[in-house]
Amino acid sequence: MKLTIASKVTIARICLIPVFVASYYFFDGPGGRVIPTIIFVVAALTDWVDGYLARSRNEVTNFGKFMDPIADKLLVASAFILLVGDGRMTAASCIIILSREFIISGFRLIAADNRVVLAAGKLGKIKTTTQIIAIILLLLNNFPFRFIGFRMDKVAELAAVVFTIWSGVDYIVKNKQVLMDKE
């Protein structure tokens, strides 16, 4: 198997996860965790880059279809778990978000077993965007909003939870035929 450039970018994202986690423990300051935030943002941007490269070069592969969502989930789950550990994020939000990811992953496995390919929807992309924004604000201790006393980090966390639930329900409802037993 020859790896495409897009697949190499996905692998780079996976390799950035331990770098992000290690930096989380070593770099914390009054402005928040700036270095880990930069690493997280770079890793998150590689999701867009690998997708763009795969489509523009007509190099969409099974490896990419399989590993890209796993890389995304590992990155986001790592960030949320670290944030819960520091008390920056509520455990309830983390549990809801990670539960949705497990449920949808299981749903996709059933679909794949039935040879059905389920495309990600617009709500899923909004969910991912709100999660990334929440992570960035939580990593940066609500910068710059803390200077005006507005908890935008908690608003973003709540928005991420709402879109996580909404996109999960929407995904299942639109693809419920996958759960129907074939007789």
Per-residue pLDDT tens over the stretch 157-178? 999 999 999 999 999 998 888 8
Identify whether the C-beta of residue 78 lies closer than 8 Å to the C-beta of residue 21: yes
This model's pTM is above 0.85: yes
What span, in angstroms and rounded, lies between the C-alpha atoms of 180 and 130? 31
Q: Interhelix angle for 34-56 vs 62-85, to 10°?
A: 160
What span, in angstroms and rounded, lies between the C-alpha atoms of 52 and 59? 10
Q: pLDDT value at position 68?
A: 87
Domain 5-179 has CATH 1.20.120.1760: yes
- At 109, the pLDDT band (50, 70, 90 cuts) reads confident
Where in the chain are the domains? 5-179
Higher pLDDT, 42 or 68: 42
Q: pLDDT value at position 86?
A: 92
